[in-house]
Chains A and B, each alone.
Chain A
């Protein structure tokens, strides 16, 4: 959890740098279980006072037995738990996003999910996606009848300006190299052997060869 917080913090710092627009955002979360005839019914809301600050206020309902049973039914057929998010921002009307998680993994993870909302630099939202982490840590066995709290981690993610060809620093690098060349040779901090091995090796070989042949020549004529 600690590293998650650090992650959120770093994300928040990023926004402060690259968002050109600030405003509020409100996300209504609706899901499709235990709705009593309706296709979607409310699960909770996420509201942000400021996109730049990015601190969300998450209010979500608690699941009751009926919810869990319906989720279990979906999980039995490996079905999807579908969530509809209705996003309202300062200057856009309500817009709808769909997202789904596998009901089985959602249950296995103790009703915890991760919500990512991607925001453009102009404050418009392109995606609200729900995901379930695949942590294999076994949760406490769920005792039927108790209240079931949904734990959601919300991340506001920014569509960052993409990289551009970095000509300026490349030119600077070339300049630096040129200056270094003008000042004199680049400082060579290699060791003596590394620098002059090409002279040392032939000399060594020559010495070895001459040393090896000389004493043996007189020993030869015996045969």
Chain B
């Protein structure tokens, strides 16, 4: 399970992320310049300026107590986190070490969420606007939290929700339509001075829709954009209108303190020109020629200036470093001329779906395969001669590629990796397609973790999502085909995105918005002539649609289930093609929360089905007395976990295993005084089920396991296919529960090509470890006092606590924060299963549950064995030679 020190990073990689940037500032004080960022994921981190890598990182609580309210970088990094009570902390900017901390609780909890914070002259300013009434301002000593004076209240009945803060000024538009006035106040000054001007001195429009936003990226001058047209600055107790036009509505603008003058910087994404940047001098209004860019090939959706720093080079040129935050959560660090220094794909901190995709075979392999493809062979080579010439040709081709490879062996290493995207011998090399919460679809090389392609779909809402590999790359010359089914952000209707997972290009249906809301979607079992599996979607009005339409006749023996999480109502449909179109018929329904309105509040937390690639290797389990305990192998079984209140036992978790084709319940159990785990934590493989829950009685995590058996006799003759509609017998259920001595955040089970290998359960812990637990430890048949027979069978004696040894940690010392899901996929060799952990970080590795029995050891000494082999050959010929000479001599005697 564990690896040697020199194997670190050999088959695994970890990528660390921080999430979508909320605040960012340059740290210009310390010697090694850094970017300090605070994010929506409640992470405070320092990024290296040259590479963009994380120098240090603090991951706060993911609940609201970890929300970052303020980031201020001076000689120290200051953060305000939480939501009443707040924690004010100072961090050393070079090491990230906590220096001081004090807490603050506001009396007025109702309005606390409108709090504004900033740092001014070494004091922490807290401002609380009470709408239509007044503003409360309190200042604290930054280091100690001592209150400088009592809270001052500024009477301001003109304060409303649309006000903007440009520290220390607080600006509002107030008054009736048509005679609105622009009011602003410096909330920190001792003498209250309100600037009050008619709004229409600044904008010529008759109608003002209240659109006002402050300048981005810690603007050097307090100012705001009004009506997306004009920039107003607050200077010398008056508003000053800049005579520079704002380029468009979605422009991000800021004023920076340049080396000689103040510069207004604007960034936007132009439809035709791509990412654009422009700068003007604030005082003269002239364009700054060096800071300008429009890059047609570089697109950043809704760019936002996050942090800007400008210096002057020796030749009196501006040298700027600009951090840009896109709507797709990617951050780009660009130079003044638009050259991108580095990019961080922060959307990967929120992965919602993962699919492993096989790579296509190389061209020469494809040629060989097509040669031996029987159908094609029968078509093409009617005579022996044709086959012979074909054979010679392909062998010549192979020779050519070999020679070519030898010639360019040195160059091939440096060549682009798109050529290398071919299947390797063990099929360990795959493309991982990740769908992220913002709607960004990313293709990643699983061996290096490098992003191969990315595609941003702003209209894709990822709340419920399904990914299907509808055609693998196994069918050259046809390309692989992957479909993502989600909902449209605005209409809530279904949205289908089909793409080639190797290149990221849209194919087939491309991006297709459906006409209705979806209930369920599935892939057809049978492929059409182009080896493409049809996609079936079920609309809310119980009609179905098949993509492509030509696949509709293939809808046969299809079953779907629809589970409503909030009501725990599950129903099943049978799909059938009636000669004209495919139809859905509701055939069963269940109420997992209990019938009627009498038991409300029960909801489905998770539905765990078998992995699509899972196979069943053996129909039974051999017992010590040489008899077989036959498994209940129902491929349609789904485990539903529900959670809800109970009048007697406070809260209960129920696990119900349902055959989703016929709607029959196979097994059920309820846990009293328990709550379901927050994430999806149930695994289901073969006849084994396991799920995690939190025991409220003992305040600990427990894992319950179930195994379903037919018994010592088979229900069906060997080799007969299981049918959900022809089995009325309920399986025997073995159950057991174990204590997990840790908090578990995600669970998965290993999958291998043919399921010959042992099955291990992977548990991601809140400590940042991913632990591998053999199923033998979770086996519900573990006896308390094993008999000799049970010992012979290999059952471990029962122990209530699940051992989590340190050497079972897959990610050794690489801590993974907030692992939300574990994904497994089989490799081409039987022993190995590929694992990807997603969460704030990404971690990829491979596991061999039964050791790598089909692979040579990693440090296998090829040289020694070839030397030994050569030496043996030489020795045998040498001795033969000497032996013949001896014989000759003997004969002469």
Contact = CB atoms under 8 A, between A and B. Distances in A.
A118 B716 CA distance: 25
A213 to B, nearest CB: 32
Contacts of A118: 656, 665, 668
Contacts, number: 166
B670 A97 contact: no
B663 A165 contact: no
A95 B726 CA distance: 27
Contact of B784 (A97, A100, A131, A169): A169
A162 B676 CA distance: 14
A132 B726 contact: yes
B785 A173 contact: yes
Contacts of A92: 594-598
B664 interface: yes
A170 B728 contact: no
B598 A173 contact: no
A120 B568 CA distance: 14
Contacts of A82: 585, 587
A11 B563 CA distance: 29
Contacts of A114: 728
A163 B704 contact: yes
B736 interface: yes
B725 interface: yes
Nearest to A115: B728
Chain A contact residues (Cβ within 8 angstroms of B): what range? Answer: 35 or more
A126 B663 contact: no
A102 B738 CA distance: 40
Nearest to A106: B725
Residue among A80, A94, A101, A126 with the most chain B CB within 10 A? A126
Interface in A147-192: 157, 159-167, 169-170, 173
A98 B728 CA distance: 16
Contacts of B664: 116, 127, 129, 131
A116 B588 CA distance: 13
A25 B721 CA distance: 37
Nearest to A96: B589
B662 interface: yes
A160 B725 contact: no
A161 B669 contact: yes
Interface in B741-795: 780, 784-785
Interface in B581-614: 585-599
Interface stretch (B106-114, B646-654, B804-812): B646-654
Nearest to B591: A126
B654 A159 contact: yes
Contacts of A80: 574, 585, 587
Given A91-B598, A126-B595, A165 B785 contact: no
Residue among B648, B658, B668, B784 with the most chain A CB within 10 A? B668
B727 A162 contact: no
Contact of B727 (A134, A159, A161, A165): A134
A223 interface: no
B739 interface: yes
B873 interface: no
Interface string B657-697: 01000111100111110000000000000000000000100
A173 to B, nearest CB: 6
B309 interface: no
Contacts of A2: none
A93 B599 CA distance: 11
A20 interface: yes
Contacts of A132: 725-726, 728
B646 A122 contact: yes
B60 interface: no
Contact of B670 (A89, A113, A120): A120
A157 to B, nearest CB: 8
Nearest to B693: A162
Nearest to B716: A134
Nearest to B592: A126
Contacts of A34: none
Contacts of B729: 133
Contacts of A131: 662, 664, 725, 727-728
A55 interface: no
A30 B199 CA distance: 72
Contacts of A89: 595-596
Contact of B800 (A96, A124, A133, A170): A170
B702 interface: yes
Interface string B792-803: 000000111100
B597 A93 contact: yes
Given A122-B599, A163-B669, A97 B590 contact: yes
A219 B798 CA distance: 63
Contacts of B597: 92-93
Interface in B512-567: none
Given A87-B595, A105-B725, A162-B671, A98 B586 contact: yes
Given A97-B590, A159-B654, A166 B798 contact: yes
A110 interface: no
Residue among A102, A113, A164 with the most chain B CB within 10 A? A164
Contacts of B646: 122
Contact of A97 (B589, B656, B730): B589
B571 interface: yes
A132 B780 CA distance: 30
B735 interface: yes
Contacts of A113: 728
Given A122-B648, A169-B784, A170-B798, A159 B656 contact: yes
A92 B591 CA distance: 13
A26 interface: no
Contacts of A44: none
B362 interface: no
Contacts of A127: 590-591, 658, 663-665
B737 A164 contact: yes
B884 interface: no
A125 B595 contact: yes
A95 B595 contact: yes
B723 interface: yes
Contact of B723 (A97, A125, A129, A134): A134
Nearest to B597: A93
A133 B662 CA distance: 13
A160 B655 CA distance: 10
A20 B739 contact: no
Contacts of B671: 161-162, 164
A99 interface: yes
B668 to A, nearest CB: 4
A122 B571 CA distance: 23
Contacts of A159: 654, 656, 668-670
A173 B798 CA distance: 10
B125 to A, nearest CB: 53
23 contacts: A92-B596, A97-B595, A98-B586, A102-B726, A105-B726, A113-B728, A122-B648, A125-B594, A126-B590, A127-B590, A129-B665, A132-B725, A132-B728, A134-B726, A157-B668, A159-B670, A163-B704, A163-B735, A163-B737, A165-B738, A166-B798, A167-B800, A170-B798
Top-10 shortest CB links A-B: A124-B594, A162-B669, A92-B596, A134-B726, A95-B595, A131-B728, A100-B587, A114-B728, A133-B728, A165-B800
Given A99-B588, A124-B596, A133-B729, 11 more contacts: A91-B598, A94-B596, A95-B595, A98-B586, A102-B726, A120-B599, A121-B648, A127-B658, A131-B725, A160-B669, A167-B739
